[in-house]
Amino acid sequence: MSNLPHEPEFEQAYNELASTLENSSLFQKNPEYRKALQVISVPERVIQFRVVWEDDAGNVQINRGYRVQFNSALGPYKGGLRFHPSVNLSILKFLGFEQIFKNALTGLNMGGGKGGSDFDPKGKTDNEIRRFCVSFMTELSKHIGADTDVPAGDIGVTGREVGFMFGQYKKLRNQWEGVLTGKGGSWGGSLIRPEATGYGVVYYVEHMINHVSEGKESFAGKRVAISGSGNVAQYAALKVIELGGSVVSLSDSQGSLVVTGEKDSFTPAEINTIAALKVERKQLTSIINDAAFANKFKYIEGARPWTHVGKVDVALPSATQNEVSGEEANALIAAGCRYIAEGSNMGCTQAAVDVFEAHRESNKGAAAIWYGPGKAANAGGVAVSGLEMAQNSARINWTAEEVDARLKAIMKDCFDNGLQTAKEFSTPADGNLPSLVAGSNIAGFRKVVAAMKDHGDWW
């Protein structure tokens, strides 16, 4: 494979999966799965195209658009669209690869894919964003559909961008169908969809805490460090507070906002202020000198929160990939952290995962830190996207309570599936917690490759 370009993010995601499969008993029990791993690691289709649009000054602008249709064994390709200057094929392949197994763990009929563009919505007017979205969807529409590929939003793609793209798809195809998820509530969107990833990661950690404490503990009284300040971080923070925990940090690409008092926490009102800030695409720096924030928080410029939060019980990286290093992993353990789960995709570097897994293996039960990988812990977002697809197909709308109940059930299944699979194929030493990363990887992989074999994709 030396003729292929170096794709560091994708290679990291592939190696993380492959190493956990190798270090389990899966290949001993099913040696034919080695061939399946080779097959599943190559996308079924990669689409790349140019996006030409006009800015407000009348200048022609050019961006690159992508859609990686990675695997359709379990259903239509499903995964978000990311609009960000960092977007490249390596990042989208890593995200699409992770999405295969994440979607499998939800139990819903969804394949895995990812797409987007190196377009940056920040600093653009609504008209410029609309013109870009129209041009982007004009090409993408040739390759997607409700039973083929159903994109959603991701970084840089909010309800506004989804609306512009949906409108253009409808004009081109002359049909209304659930081709995108994350739609507006009055035209096919699902209740709880904006909250789903943040809520889901908290529900997942609830099961981790419940398992370790044998039902004696919950989020009540826990200090929780969260990175990011976008959709995932906001709703994770609100749910933690609702469940009795304290949120001690949020962050963005410029720095981190950390509470100064040992008993302090972000309040829902403060989180809502930050949410309004992000709608305007502003940074946390625009509020750090306001009296309401300056008296309660410290702002650490250019830093992630992990080494600045003091004592914490739970860490939820919820910004972007590789946002916890090996050094920061050790700092979290030293700060008393016992649960870490990824609200972002591949939020921890491999060095950090190795630190967490080594600590779990060398300490018994509650004395160890327990790591929940993103493909299981942050599956709530795509799960409710799948529920949105189901509602669109039936032309019905469920209540918020019904969607939330289904989300809770899916997150419980994600946790239980990973836990039981780890016990079967990566048996922990006596008294040690099972590896959720191994269990989740194996559970998702087995489900997908079994379907692929039935379809004749490998034999």
Q: What is the DSSP string of 80-115?
A: EEEE-TT--HHHHHHHHHHHHHHHHHHTSS--EEEE
CATH number at residue 150: 3.40.50.10860
The last residue of one of the domains, among 331, 347, 372, is: 372
Structural domain boundaries, residue 214: 195-372
Residues 271 and 361 in one domain: yes
Check: CB of residue 251 under 8 Å from CB of residue 284. yes
pTM: 0.95
Phi-psi region of 182 (alpha: psi -120 to 50; beta: other; left: phi over 0): left
Q: What residue has token string 């001993």?
A: 28
Q: Is 175 annotated as a binding residue?
A: no
Residue among 60, 42, 39 nearest 51 (CA): 60
Q: Which residues pair with 115 in a beta bridge?
A: 67, 81
Tell me whether residue 397 is in a domain.
no
- pLDDT tens string, the chain, 459 residues long: the values are 467 789 999 999 999 999 999 999 999 999 999 999 999 999 999 999 999 999 999 999 999 999 999 999 999 999 999 999 999 999 999 999 999 999 999 999 999 999 999 999 999 999 999 999 999 999 999 999 999 999 999 999 999 999 999 999 999 999 999 999 999 999 999 999 999 999 999 999 999 999 999 999 999 999 999 999 999 999 999 999 999 999 999 999 999 999 999 899 999 999 999 999 988 888 999 999 898 899 999 999 999 999 999 999 999 999 999 999 999 999 999 999 999 999 999 999 999 999 999 999 999 999 999 999 999 999 999 999 999 999 999 999 999 999 999 999 999 999 999 999 999 999 999 999 999 999 999 999 999 999 999 999 998
Residues 265 and 139 in one domain: no
Long-range contacts formed by 402-410: CB under 8 A, 24+ apart: 403/190, 403/191, 403/192, 403/193, 404/192, 404/199, 407/192, 407/196, 407/199, 407/200, 407/203, 407/380, 407/383, 408/203, 410/106, 410/107, 410/108, 410/200, 410/379, 410/380, 410/383
Residues 366 and 219 in one domain: yes
Angle at 306 between CA 303 and CA 310, to 5 degrees: 115
CATH number at residue 214: 3.40.50.720
Residues 121 and 270 in one domain: no
Tell me whether residue 47 is in a domain.
yes
Rounded Cα–Cα distance for residues 298 and 292 (Å): 12
Tell me whether residue 382 is in a domain.
no
Query: Based on the structure, what is the number of domains in the chain?
Result: 2
Q: Annotated catalytic, 114?
A: yes
Residues 249 and 300 in one domain: yes
Residues 165 and 273 in one domain: no
pLDDT at 3: 76
The dihedral sign for the CA sequence 161, 167, 172, 173: positive
Q: Is 453 annotated as a binding residue?
A: no
DSSP E strand boundaries for 325-376: 339-341, 370-372
> How does strand 370-372 pair with strand 314-316?
unpaired
Rounded Cα–Cα distance for residues 453 and 53 (Å): 43
Point out the catalytic residue in the list 29, 35, 93, 114. Answer: 114
Residue among 383, 386, 390, 392 nearest 185 (CA): 392
Whole-number Cα distances in Å, 55 to 62, 66, 117, 128, 170: 10, 21, 16, 5, 24
Residues 219 and 309 in one domain: yes
Beta strands across the sheet bearing 314-316: 297-301, 255-259, 246-252, 223-226, 314-316, 339-341, 370-372
Tell me whether residue 37 is in a domain.
no
Residues 48 and 147 in one domain: yes
Tell me whether residue 34 is in a domain.
no
Tell me whether residue 427 is in a domain.
no
pLDDT at 291: 87
For the chain, how are helix, strand and coil distributed in percent, rounded to 5? 45, 15, 35
Angle at 93 between CA 87 and CA 97, to 5 degrees: 135
Q: Is 102 annotated as a binding residue?
A: yes
The two three-digit tokens of residue 201, written as one number: 């990661």
Q: What's the alpha-carbon Rg for the chain, to the nearest Å?
A: 21
Q: Is 99 annotated as a binding residue?
A: yes
Residues 329 and 214 in one domain: yes
The last residue of one of the domains, among 333, 357, 372, is: 372
Instruction: Tell me if residue 27 falls in helix, strand or coil.
Output: helix
Rounded Cα–Cα distance for residues 34 and 295 (Å): 57
pLDDT at 279: 85
pLDDT at 183: 97
Rounded Cα–Cα distance for residues 60 and 244 (Å): 52
Residues 218 and 354 in one domain: yes
Torsion of CA 438, 441, 446, 451, to 10 degrees: 180
Residues 207 and 345 in one domain: yes
Q: Is 158 annotated as a binding residue?
A: no
Tell me whether residue 61 is in a domain.
yes
Residues 132 and 222 in one domain: no
The last residue of one of the domains, among 372, 396, 417, is: 372
Q: Is 197 annotated as a binding residue?
A: yes
How many Cβ atoms sit within 10 Å of the Cβ of residue 165? 26
Q: Is 447 annotated as a binding residue?
A: no
Rounded Cα–Cα distance for residues 246 and 264 (Å): 7
Tell me whether residue 27 is in a domain.
no
